[in-house]
Chains A and B, each alone.
Chain A
Amino acid sequence: MNGTVLRKEIQERIDEIKEADILVGIPSYNNARTIAHVVKAVHAGFAKYFPDKKCVLVNSDGGSTDGTMSVVQDATIEDSLSILLHHRIVPAFKITTPYHGIPGKGSAFRTIFEIADALNVKACAVVDSDLRSITPEWVELLVKPVLDGGFDYIAPLYHRHKYDGTITNSIVYPLTRALYGRRVRQPIGGDFGFSGNLAKFYLTKDVWNTDVARYGIDIWMTTTAIANDFRVCQSFLGAKIHDPKDPGADLSAMLHQVVGATFDLMDTYSGKWKAVKGSEPTLTCGFQYAVGLEPVSVNLDRMIDKFRLGVNELKDIWREFLPEDVMKFLYKAGKQPKKKFHMPDDIWAEIIYGFAIAAHKKMINKEHLLKSLTPLYIGRVASFVIETWESSAEEVEDRIEKLCITFENKKDFLMDGWDR
């Protein structure tokens, strides 16, 4: 492992704290607007649910220019008595530090893992800095299963808008479930709990110069935990409401990093997933309840136009690795009227498996391959939106379940192509 060197002042702070029971990490980059709420919720969570434990909050920052780090330093619970039933016995510590390495969420997490390792913590959690719906209960729900239940990895379970998390719903969840046989509904949810042992295990892996250092970190953490037989459960956290992501963030780059990391993991754990058939549910902690979510606007015309443009211009690239029947469907779908536009589950599963096989066999340049997936993904999302426009949250969930079963049933297609 190539460890990063923690800054001198952080090392001094660690020496001062010596050891801790719980660590909650918050990666950030220009989140001055929202991070104070997250810090307060975490502190309230420490005070309310773990008053007798030694707790540390770590903010790992990517060089914010909007004063995020000072907001973290200054954030305190103004009226703790109105929130808490207990006063803290042991004070909570706060560490804010810029991280080293490739700019990205994964590098921020690496610094958090290193501090957790240095403090020899028992349980850790990481939460996003742009969350608006986080409550003190999130800390309990992400940490308690580690301390009291003996679990190593706690994935989040949220109620999200039916068109939120479309990469998760259409690619990452169905694919990881079919591959590794575990139904972890939000494998790239962004807010996770994990044991100190798992943090140490993560640090033994030399992945910090890959897509894992960026958006690939979430799927890497989840898959590493599942594939290495760590005890996994999920906690219901309620609604996930957060600031809109940076509008300048490029969808194809995001897709490239997440899907690229997922495909890399397929190579790493091919021995594991080839032996898996079907899937089994994952234990869920927390009390589930319905939440109201704001509607979102979707520009369907533009999405279908992008899909059509992709079919017209990128078909020669896709023809190199996608099956003939999929290509025939794409030519036809590219000419369908917008109202009748539909991409069936089995075609979508074959597309994703076809891309995975092409990445495994290095059939074309990996960046070209993954970025050429964008128009197909947009087409699939458009088809999903048309199909579920009138559907309730439960109906949409059933629809996603159907897609997952298709991915599981089509796994032989992947296995055949992988070894051929």
Chain B
Amino acid sequence: MGNLLQRLTIEPFERFFDKVIQFLPTLITSGFILIAGIVIGVFLKAVFLKLARAVKLDAVSERSGIIDLMRKGGIKDSVSVFLSKVIAWITIAVFAVISMRELQIPAVERLFENLLLYLPNVFAAALILLFGYLLGNFFGRTALIASVNAGIKLSGLISRFVKFTVFILAGTMALEQLGIGRGTIIIAFAIVFGGIVLALAIAFGLGGRDIAKAYLEKKLTEKEEKDEIEHL
């Protein structure tokens, strides 16, 4: 009877205790790794902040328009503070993954492995979006100035069209990079883009038939009155 009681109550507790004793060093090591990660993250954040201020990163980002992008996205920090925070969190996340692996729990290991493998896609997508934003603004402004100098009244519209085309293209590429609806996104983009072009062609073809006719007639038959001012 006494033997049975020992097998039912004391032995499981003893086994549990043994496992806890066995697991404790791993848990402590894991905890240390996590704490080290936090300390290193904070240290790297401080170092990056100093470096960024030395190279005047905030002034450069102000000029390049990155700061506008961040404000529109609801980020109120300066670029240097934002990037330093990102660096700190990436460091902490990497150390967290290492500390979790140290625990040797299969389910957690798999989860973090998948997350780790997916992270580069997130970074690549973020980079694509950032470059897309910068390029969209740049090409939009180029188109605006060129069309204003050519005297085109719809300059603003042309500029916005160029800008948003680049934005949409970047968004599509970013989503594709993240693996979200791969085929669907590309097909949707092609349909939307093709649709816009077709709609514009039909609109101009039907609505602007007379204007186009008058314009062509003017170009082919009349000589436009030109300035004879010699600029140089």
Q: Identify the A interface with B (CB < 8 A).
A: 160-161, 163-168, 188, 190, 215, 244-245, 247, 250-252, 254-255, 258, 296-299, 302-303, 305-306, 309-310, 312-314, 317, 362-365, 367-368, 371-372, 374-375, 381
Contact = CB atoms under 8 A, between A and B. Distances in A.
A368 B145 contact: yes
A161 B229 CA distance: 9
Given A305-B151, A313-B155, A190 B145 contact: no
Nearest to A311: B148
B166 interface: no
A376 to B, nearest CB: 11
Contacts of B8: none
> Which 8 pairs across A and B sit closest by C-beta, in order of nearness?
A296-B228, A252-B149, A164-B230, A167-B231, A374-B149, A371-B145, A313-B155, A163-B229
A371 B149 contact: yes
B229 A375 contact: no
25 contacts: A160-B230, A161-B230, A165-B230, A167-B231, A167-B232, A168-B232, A188-B232, A244-B228, A245-B232, A251-B149, A254-B231, A296-B227, A296-B228, A296-B229, A297-B228, A298-B227, A298-B229, A299-B227, A302-B227, A305-B151, A312-B156, A365-B141, A367-B142, A372-B148, A374-B149
Contact of A254 (B141, B156, B159, B232): B232
Contact of B225 (A215, A255, A299): A299
Given A309-B153, A362-B63, A365-B138, A372 B229 contact: no
Contacts of A165: 230-232
Contacts of A190: 232
B219 interface: no
A159 to B, nearest CB: 13
A52 B149 CA distance: 52
Contacts of A245: 230, 232
A64 B165 CA distance: 40
Contacts of B148: 306, 309-310, 313-314, 372, 374-375
Given A368-B141, A372-B148, 15 more contacts: A161-B230, A163-B229, A164-B230, A165-B232, A166-B230, A251-B231, A254-B231, A297-B227, A298-B228, A302-B227, A303-B227, A306-B149, A309-B153, A365-B141, A371-B149
A313 B231 contact: no
A309 B229 contact: no
Contact of A247 (B63, B144, B153, B226): B226
A364 B145 CA distance: 13
Interface of B: 63, 138, 141-142, 144-146, 148-149, 151, 153, 155-156, 159, 225-232
Contacts of A168: 232
Contacts, number: 90
A305 to B, nearest CB: 7
Contact of A371 (B138, B146, B153): B146
Contacts of B153: 309
Contacts of B155: 309, 313
B231 A364 contact: no
B168 to A, nearest CB: 22
Interface centre among B142, B144, B225, B231 (most CB of A within 10 A): B231
B145 A297 contact: no
Nearest to B230: A164
Contact of B142 (A160, A166, A167, A368): A368
Contacts of A306: 148-149, 151
A381 B229 contact: yes
Contacts of A381: 229
A205 B95 CA distance: 55
A321 to B, nearest CB: 11
A245 B229 CA distance: 10
Contacts of A164: 229-230
A318 to B, nearest CB: 11
Contacts of B228: 163, 244, 296-298
Contact of B149 (A161, A247, A375): A375
Contacts of A314: 144-145, 148
A164 B145 CA distance: 25
Interface centre among B153, B156, B227 (most CB of A within 10 A): B227
Given A245-B232, A298-B229, A372 B63 contact: no
A364 B63 CA distance: 7
A340 B148 CA distance: 23
A44 to B, nearest CB: 26
Contacts of A375: 148-149
